[in-house]
Each structure stands twice: as structure tokens, then as C-alpha cells.
Amino acid sequence: ALKRIKNSLTHDGWLRYDDMFAFAERALKYVPTLPETIAHRFPLVFMDEMQDTSDLQLDVLSKAFLGDPIVQRFGDINQAILNRGAGTHAHAFPKQGFFEVSSSLRFGTQIADVANRLKLVGGNMEGNGGGAVAQPALILYTDATIQSVVQRFGAWAAENFTLDELVSRPIKAVCGVKREGNVQQPVGRHIRDYVPDFVIDANRPAGARA
């Protein structure tokens, strides 16, 4: 029954991300020459955000680009959202002998100084971008004070920007997750942990930023 459901969904075009990796693994298994074809089509490969590449994705990528392509992988493990636990995949990022990029054009020295005190691994970053328009700040909260975070952020913005600046460039609080997740996880899972009265638009994707 499950197979019939999956076949029906696939026929209608309803596929999950994991389904695409399953198709890729099947293709690599039954078409042994496929990596050679991929290498011919893509002789140079850039892989970004490698710190958040799952073991399943690593398996497919390592098999697909097994031959001659030159593969360059980029990422920042200080920004990783995946917890690999004790085990390490054979192709996990970064590999031994990696090069570290220490200079950034995204931000200036103010943000670099703060980030260097918070990052877990790697050498100091150099901020060669524009200066910060306000002193960087971190808002710390507990389960009991989480609903005050947005209000405190608004107060911080009012303290650091003029009324004209706030009118011409509105300040926004961004939450990466809208939908309620696992109730057993700590608070801070989604936007309604911060703003209980927030009205969720059912027409927008669950992963959309609010």
C-alpha cells in the first residue's frame, strides 16, 4: 500500500528532497558510467554551505563527483546547524589541509571584533567591509523572558537610529521558522514563541521567513 502511494505521488510530481537523493543513488547504482558523464559535463564544481551538508548528501556528492572533476568546497563550521554527534563522515567538511579565508568584505572591524570573541574554531577574521551603522548587540533571554525579545530589539533600534532613519529604512525582526515544531524542544523554535499573537498566513510555505 505504501509503495502504491509513493508511486502515485511520484507520478503526480509530489517529491520530497530526500526522494531526489534516492533517485540519485539509484541512478548511480544502476548506471556505473554516470560519474564519468557528470565529470565531462561539470569539470569544475563549487559546493557552498558545506557545513550544513548532511551525511546523505555527502554520500551522493562523493559518488557523483568521484572521477576527474576539480571540487572546491566552501563553508563556515562556526555557522553549522547540523550536529553530527560523535561519528564523522569520511567526506565531512572540512578535510585535512583545508585553506582558511580570514578576510571578509561583508562587514568591518566592529562586527569582526565581536565575531572573533564568539566563534568556536578558526583564526581571527579581518573585517574589510563597511563600518557598522550601530554597535553590534546580542539580546540574551530565558524561557521566562522570550516574549520580551522583540520589544527589547525595538527599543535598541530606537536608541541607535533617528526617527528619519527608522521611517526611511524600517527595522524588521526576522524569525527563520513560522510553524510550531516539536513541543519537546526548548523555546525559541518558531516565531510564536516570541510573539504569541502572530497570525500565521496559511498560504505561505512552512519554512518561509516571517
Q: Cα dist. 197→116, 147, 202 in Å? A: 36, 10, 15
CA–CA separation, 66 and 91 (whole Å): 11
For the ranges 15-19, 45-49, 178-182, which has the lowest average pLDDT?
178-182
pLDDT of residue 88: 67
User: How high is the pLDDT of residue 47?
Assistant: 92
pLDDT digits (tens, 9 = 90+) for 77-105: 888 876 655 556 777 888 888 899 889 89
pLDDT at res. 175: 72
Mean pLDDT, rounded, for 58-80? 87
Residue 155 backbone zone (phi > 0: left; psi -120 to 50: alpha; other: beta) = alpha
Q: Is the per-residue pLDDT at 58 higher than 90?
A: no
> Within 13 A of 85's CA, how many CA atoms are on the CB side?
3
pLDDT-derived band at 210 (thresholds 50, 70, 90) equals: very low
Residue 202: band (very low, low, confident or very high) from pLDDT cuts 50, 70, 90:
low
The dihedral over CA atoms of 186, 190, 194, 196, expressed in degrees to the nearest 10, equals -110
Percent of the chain topping pLDDT 90 = 31
What is the rounded average pLDDT for all residues in the chain?
Answer: 84
**Confidence label for 2 from pLDDT (cuts 50, 70 and 90):** very high
pLDDT of residue 31: 94
Please say if the pLDDT value at position 59 is more than 80: yes
User: Looking at residues 46-64, what average pLDDT do you find?
Assistant: 88
The one-letter code for the residue type at 58 is: L
